[in-house]
Amino acid sequence: MNRDQMIIQMNQEYAARRENNLLLYEDRVNAACETCDGLRQLIEARRESLMNGLRNALYPDIRNPFNNAALQSAFGGYNARIAAKLVACGLPADTLDPVYTCPQCKDEGYTYEPSRRMCGCFERELNRRMLAELGLTQSQTFERFEEGIFSDAQPISQRALMRRNRDICEQYADQYPLNALRNLLFVGQSGLGKTFLMQAIAHRVTERGYAVMYVSAYKLLLAMRKAYFDNSNEGLDTYLDAPLLMIDDLGTEPLMENITVTQFFNLLNERQNAGAFTVVSSNLTMTELKKRYTERITSRLLDESRWKILRFAGDDVREKLGKAKRDGGATA
């Protein structure tokens, strides 16, 4: 399900929420009226006062400025009398306040001051669903990055290298889609934090309201294989058209003749021509990338006028990460 489909679904859910809360409100009114003699008459009188004011405002032939001037005072008087009766009956004064799951947007999902925009409740839920659709958890974020998990041994500090990579990735995510360089390539052995930073980018970009497509190289190959044998790009359209495509673990997928290299080249070429954003991670060295994917592909991946290359080096930190998780600490 893409972002637009999620928004449509959530709008329907919010409409159902408003309907359910209206039923709860009506039940609350009926229960209060059974407890408090004369309460329903006050509620009806307040409603009639409001309707008269609206009619007076909408129809010029009966408009009376003196009536409108007194409307606010009369309405306030009814509210005070209703609150006093509720308290006298042992009920809270706000018993008849409208029922909202989110008082800020009144369960509309949007606020309108100073202009129409998503309410925080709607935006948070949309982001949660988008991340879930990508298969990402809440642990792989820039906020959860802990540089202390990396060695600071000299002459080359892994910690300093990871701090630099983290800063570049966070800047990339914060600037998207106005980045000077649209593409990132992560290279280095496994266990050095490449996947963590990729997922942190995906989280931040998604939280900012943009769509992300995150996929393993193996899953991408399956789509490429199907497209090849079906002689159709239909199965690849999602990856071709994604504004930001993130491909993790390039080089771990099987190398299928006439499929892996050819289809991957077509994917990169089409996305590059369209000006789309792509982030790729690989456990292969530069030499291994060239040998596996040919000069045709690596010339694009290593083009520093289009790609920012981040190198990862040092010790595998997965054992430290496991201990940190068991201790309730850092995740990277």
Task: Give the pLDDT confidence score for residue 327 in this predicted structure.
Answer: 58
Task: Give the pLDDT confidence score for residue 232 in this predicted structure.
Answer: 77
- Domain assignment present for residue 26? The answer is yes
Task: Give the pLDDT confidence score for residue 62 in this predicted structure.
Answer: 53
304 and 165 housed in the same domain: yes
pLDDT, mean over the chain: 86
Given pLDDT bands bounded at 50, 70 and 90, which one contains residue 58?
low
CA 77 – CA 298 distance, rounded (Å): 77
- Domain assignment present for residue 56? The answer is yes
Residue 310 belongs to domain with CATH number: 3.40.50.300
**Element holding 282 (H helix, E strand):** strand 277-282
- Domain assignment present for residue 293? The answer is yes
Last residue of a domain, which of 100, 119, 150?
A: 100
Task: Give the pLDDT confidence score for residue 46 in this predicted structure.
Answer: 85
How many domains are there within the chain?
2
- Domain assignment present for residue 110? The answer is no
Last residue of a domain, which of 72, 100, 128?
A: 100
Give residues with Cβ within 8 angstroms of 57, minimum separation 6: 63, 68
CA 268 – CA 32 distance, rounded (Å): 66
- Domain assignment present for residue 308? The answer is yes
Domain that holds residue 80: 3-100
CA 105 – CA 300 distance, rounded (Å): 48
- Domain assignment present for residue 125? The answer is no
Question: Is the model more confident about 76 or about 82?
Answer: 82
**Mean pLDDT for the stretch of residues 268-288:** 93
